[in-house]
Amino acid sequence: MNSAAAEPEIKELGVHDCWRYLRSTSLCRIAFTDGGTVENYPVNFVPTNGTLLMRTGEGTKLASLTDRKAVAVEADGMNQYGTIAWSVVLKGHAMVVSDEEETRDAMEAGLSPWQPGQKNILIRITPEEITGRRFVIAAPTHWWPPREPTAD
């Protein structure tokens, strides 16, 4: 077996590529601590002005995402052929948005909730670090051993 062919090509992404990939999707996962546990939720978002905006309502997310709470956001995707995947991780702080101009910015960016119910509270994630990588998806033949013929 040629082990060089089995290794996927991995490329570390620069900041501009990370933002380009974030602009190509609207779904991510946000992780943060809530007391002694770690929470991780899927949320829709829009990147705007070098930050991420999301909407939420009353509940765990809002209660935990006040006062510049440290968060990590991850978004992933792949090309239309399923041959190249990417992953971007943004670490930063969350703040509730109350400024009228920022609220207008979110509306103009097309941020709308996916679930029914009151989602009138905006959260802005300001990044401190953004990293990403892109890689070729290895064919299953590269990670599963050859099957032994079975005797019937």
The pLDDT tens digits of the residues spanning 16-53 come to: 999 999 999 988 999 988 888 888 988 889 898 899 98
Nearest Cα residue to 130 out of 93, 92, 95, 94: 92
pTM score of the predicted model: 0.78
pLDDT digits (tens, 9 = 90+) for 90-130: 999 998 888 787 777 777 777 766 666 666 778 889 999 99
Q: How far is CA 113 from CA 15, 18, 65, 139, 144, in A?
A: 27, 24, 17, 36, 41
- Structure tokens that stand for 12 in this block: 């570390």
Per-residue DSSP letter, 16: H
Q: What's the first-to-final CA gap in the chain, in angstroms?
A: 28
Residue type, position 147, single letter? R
Q: What integer pLDDT is reported at residue 36 of this predicted model?
A: 85
- From CA 58, how far away is CA 82, in angstroms rounded? 37
Q: What integer pLDDT is reported at residue 54 of this predicted model?
A: 87
Q: What integer pLDDT is reported at residue 3 of this predicted model?
A: 45
Please report which confidence band the pLDDT of residue 131 belongs to, taking 50, 70 and 90 as the band edges: very high
Q: What integer pLDDT is reported at residue 29 of this predicted model?
A: 93
The torsion of the CA quartet 108, 88, 75, 136, rounded to 10 degrees, works out to 120
Q: Are 107 and 76 in contact (CB under 8 A)?
A: no
Q: What integer pLDDT is reported at residue 33 of this predicted model?
A: 84
CB neighbourhood size of 49 (10 A):
11
Strands (DSSP E) found in 4-150: 10-13, 27-34, 37-44, 46-48, 51-56, 69-78, 84-97, 121-136
Q: Are 30 and 71 in contact (CB under 8 A)?
A: yes
- Which range of 7-21, 80-94, 137-151 scores highest in mean pLDDT? It is 80-94
Higher pLDDT, 22 or 138: 22
Of 25-39, 55-69, 70-84, 86-100, least confident by mean pLDDT is 55-69
